[in-house]
Structure 1
Amino acid sequence: MFFTYLRRELRRRRKAALVIALGLALGIGLVITVNSASAGMQVAQGKVLQSLYGLGTDMTVTKAAAAQGSTGATGRPKFNFGATTDSKEQSSDQVMVQGFESLPTTVVSQVAGQKGVDDAVGGLSLRVLKVSGQFDRGQFKQGQTTGGGRGGGGTQPPGEVQGGGAQFDVNNYSVYGVDVAKPALGPLTSSKITSGTSFTSAQSNAAVAVLDSSYAKENKLAVGGTLTIKAVKYKVIGIATADSGDSAANVYIPLTQAQTLAGAKDKVTTVYVKATDSQQIDGVKSAIQKNVPGTTVTTSADLASTVSGSLSTASDLATNLGKWLSIAVLIAAFLVAGLLTSSAVSRRVREFGTLKALGWKSRRVTGQVMGEALVNGLIGGVLGIALGLGGAYLITAISPTLTASVASGGGGGGGGGFGGGPGRQAATKALDIALTAPVSLGTIGLSVGLAVAGGLIAGTFGGWRASRLRPADALRRVE
């Protein structure tokens, strides 16, 4: 009886039901679109941050900045060239720890032992200055004898060196030492191997290298070739292309090799940390700061606050204006649905009064009104999901391009923001990110919940009005 009456009333009053459903649909559709756009902006921000610190990293640990006025080991690079008798090509490499700041490798195990840390891995950021060129030997020219007569001796001025000189080129590039035993964590994970292979655990101290694709192209290097750093020839085993933005470094080599090149045995510049649960990141940060002195901890949230550009502006709009607007529209839709349902009940005084006269109790009448409102809400939910999916699809299809840049900052001199030393260079460049609007199952579930809530709110308005009707009201309306 309940469903038969429900179906008949909805069919008979389908215009009013459609108006209520459309009101709810607009609010729900707006919520889906705004949430999906906001999720897309979070994905875009994630791409920006991933280009700096790598996939899976929740935070980084670097050496704390030195106090103002303190002196650090900031020695200037020195280049020594031996003297030769002939013109000869010469080169010299100066390998320096990025920012001249480093931590002992024991810090990695200390960080890994903190509560809430799933894994931790160290890396060493280096900067290589390569000076190469040649000295051209000048020619000594004897001065010509002047003065003197037929039998007299003239004077001979001193000679001079003519010609010669030197031409040198300075090449500056970044090298990153990675722990090959843990390839799933660290800056190299922000790039994809597009040629050759990545490191294996057996290459912990091998003279092998993976090059960034842009650097390899610029220097005409390929898999199988060699790269010489400080007289050590590294075989190129792979070419990596950054997923978005710039790569973390130009050259990647095993951590042990990087430590040997820089004379930084058992040293790292950055510790990459993965938390067991994303909800525990703040707690893990506090624990590391408390238990590992002399360090600075930077989370993805810290770095996200430095993202600027149109991506940041759009994200703020979606987070603040968009969500508040969708909430306001949703509340208005709920109120309108409730008022329309209550108004529809007022027009059905004769109907409900007659039903009560026939023996229907107030609870049954209220239940009938609630059932009709709930069905209207579900219909509105279906229409709202369709509108929301359409809006999200339109955003994805258009894929508006947003720009983002991350200001340099972060930990100690070698920290350079969240991604360690080489990340500083990438952070100063603007990135173009195509915006998408992914719709998650959670958003769909939220929409269904809002539809049910809207139906219940509207049913509450109408049910309260219906419960107050008396059989005598129906008799007054008889013409």
Structure 2
Amino acid sequence: MFFTYLRRELRRRRKAALVVASGLALGIALVIVVSSVSTGMSRAQDKVLESLYGLGTDMTVTKAAAAPGSGSGRPKFEFDAKGDDDATQSSDRVMIQGFQTLASSTVTEIGGQNGVAGAVGGLGLNVMKVDGQFKRGEFKQDESAGQGGQGGFGGPGGNGQPQGEVRGGGASFDVNSYTVYGTDVTEQGIGPLTSSKITKGRTFKTSETDAKVAVVDSAYAKEKKLDVGRTVTIHGTKFSVVGVSTADSGDAAANLYIPLKQAQTLSDSKDKVTTVYVKAADSQQIDQVKSAIQKNISGTTVTTSADLADTVSGSLSTASDLASGVGKWLSIVVLAAAFLVAGLLTSAAVSRRVREFGTLKALGWKSGRVTRQVVGEALVNGLLGGVLGIGIGLAGAYAVTAISPTLTAQLGSSGGGMGGGMGGGRFMGGPGRDAASKTLDIALTAPVSLSVILTAVALAVAGGLIAGGFGGWRASRLRPADALRRVE
């Protein structure tokens, strides 16, 4: 009897049911779209941050910034004096990024702290190479000087020296600067190389701790026409290219990766690192781990992904703030309004059915049975609105993903993990990133998770129950006498 009456009443009041369901559908659809866009923005930010410190890394530890003027100074280049005018001169300098290092023993100390699941050291280097040649100028005698048998000597001033000038000559040099990162090949699950994929060749073997092998960033490989099997020379040492990597985010990482021991040898930095990459045992305790490291290991700066998130600006940050702030509040307001309208419409519908419910009570229906009937109708309307809302929400999320609007993420200096001087100012001590802000383009997607769908279903049921509560309360107050008053 319940379902028969329910089906008949819904069919008879199709327009009213559709209005209630449509209002709920719009609110639920907005919740789905805002939630999916927020998830997409969160993933975009994670992608940006992973490009800075590498997948699996929760924080980095670097040496505390030195006082101004205490750095190693600017690089100096020296050239040999050669007799051949056209001889090519070449000189290069290997400089530590930021000129700040930590002892390799610090990696072990950090790894022993409570809450640390793993710690790996790395050494960031800047290599500046200068190539060119000097050309000697030619002396050109002034033919107008020394006329009248002086033979070009004497002339005004009469000191017996030839009169003329030196023309031509000079110097032409090319400057090539690139970044090299020393990687601990025995622990490749943490660190900056994890933010890149090996697209050619292979990555390092754990046995290549002191081997002369290198992995080249794809952009640098294309620029210098490097490939697997070729060699690249760093400060007079030849390295064999075993792999080509591509950064996941499109942001160029270090130009070259080599084993940590080789990087320490090239820079004369035995048992030194510039950065310690740390993985926490529990992602919920990152702040506690950070505090422990800062307390127990002096002279260090700890930078977490949360610290870096504050440095990301641009349209990605703005849109994320809007989605998490204005968007969520807007969806809540619209959803609350939809619930209220559904409740009022259901209550108004009950008012129009006074004769019907009064007659049913006169025939023996209890107030509870009438209330259940009204709640059942409202619940079906809510579920119908949920189906429509999920459909509209999925269509909206698909449209955002299909369009994939491009957002910009501007990476500013974080203040943590920064060293002074040339090559300093790296994000979380990462390799090869300039201290100046850098802009990345990120394509926005709007993934819809199962939890969002379940939330939409729960909202649909809640909307139906709220609307049914309004109407049921109204119906329970009706008396059979009310039906008789409406009889004409």
Counterpart of 1:324 in structure 2 is 329
Which residue of 53, 71, 76 maps to 2:74? 76
Counterpart of 1:125 in structure 2 is 124
Cα deviation digits, residues 31-67 of structure 1 (max 9, x gap): 1111111222222222222222222222222222234
Give SS of 1:452's match. Answer: helix
**1:24-39 pair list within 5 angstroms:** 24-39=24-39
Distance 1:341 1:147 in 2: 115
Cα deviation digits, residues 323-369 of structure 1 (max 9, x gap): 11111111100000111111111222222223333333222222222
- Tell me how far 1:188 sits from its aligned partner: 1.4
Distance 2:41 2:331 in 1: 17
Does structure 2 retain, via aligned residues, the 8 Å contact 1:208–1:234? yes
- Tell me how far 1:136 sits from its aligned partner: 5.3
Distance 2:275 2:121 in 1: 6
Cα deviation digits, residues 6-47 of structure 1 (max 9, x gap): 222222222211111110000000111111112222222222
Does structure 2 retain, via aligned residues, the 8 Å contact 1:339–1:461? yes
Give SS of 1:93's match. Answer: strand
Give SS of 1:221's match. Answer: coil
Give SS of 2:451's match. Answer: helix
Does structure 1 retain, via aligned residues, the 8 Å contact 2:372–2:472? yes
Does structure 1 retain, via aligned residues, the 8 Å contact 2:29–2:393? yes
Counterpart of 2:49 in structure 1 is 49
Counterpart of 2:469 in structure 1 is 460
**1:9-158 pair list within 5 angstroms:** 9-67=9-67, 72-86=70-84, 88-135=87-134
TM value normalised by structure 1: 0.90
Distance 2:372 2:34 in 1: 34
One-letter amino acid matched to 2:45:
Q
Unaligned runs of 5+ in 1: 149-154
One-letter amino acid matched to 1:331:
A
Calculate the aligned-residue CA RMSD, in Å. Answer: 3.0
Does structure 1 retain, via aligned residues, the 8 Å contact 2:127–2:178? yes
Q: What is the aligned residue count?
A: 472
- Tell me how far 1:427 sits from its aligned partner: 6.4
One-letter amino acid matched to 2:399:
L
Q: Say whether 1:303 aligns with 2:308.
A: yes
Unaligned runs of 5+ in 2: 141-149, 154-159
Counterpart of 1:368 in structure 2 is 373
Cα deviation digits, residues 187-211 of structure 1 (max 9, x gap): 1122222221111111111111111
One-letter amino acid matched to 2:55:
L
Distance 1:241 1:112 in 2: 29
Distance 2:436 2:208 in 1: 30
Q: 1:359 to 1:426 in 2, by over 3 A?
A: farther
Counterpart of 1:405 in structure 2 is 410
Give SS of 2:44's match. Answer: helix
Cα deviation digits, residues 173-193 of structure 1 (max 9, x gap): 111111112222211122222
Q: 1:157 to 1:418 in 2, by over 3 A?
A: closer
- The 4+ residue runs of structure 1 with deviation greater than 6 A are 137-141, 145-148, 155-158, 160-164
Give SS of 1:370's match. Answer: helix
Q: 1:156 to 1:272 in 2, by over 3 A?
A: closer
Query: Which shows bigger deviation, 237-246 or 85-94?
Result: 85-94
Cα deviation digits, residues 278-322 of structure 1 (max 9, x gap): 333333323322333222222222222222222222222222221
Distance 2:171 2:233 in 1: 22
TM value normalised by structure 2: 0.88
Counterpart of 1:431 in structure 2 is 440
- Tell me how far 1:75 sits from its aligned partner: 3.3
What fraction of aligned residue pairs are identical, expressed as a percent? 73
Distance 2:375 2:105 in 1: 66
Distance 1:147 1:291 in 2: 80
Does structure 1 retain, via aligned residues, the 8 Å contact 2:192–2:430? no
One-letter amino acid matched to 2:472:
G
- Tell me how far 1:115 sits from its aligned partner: 3.3
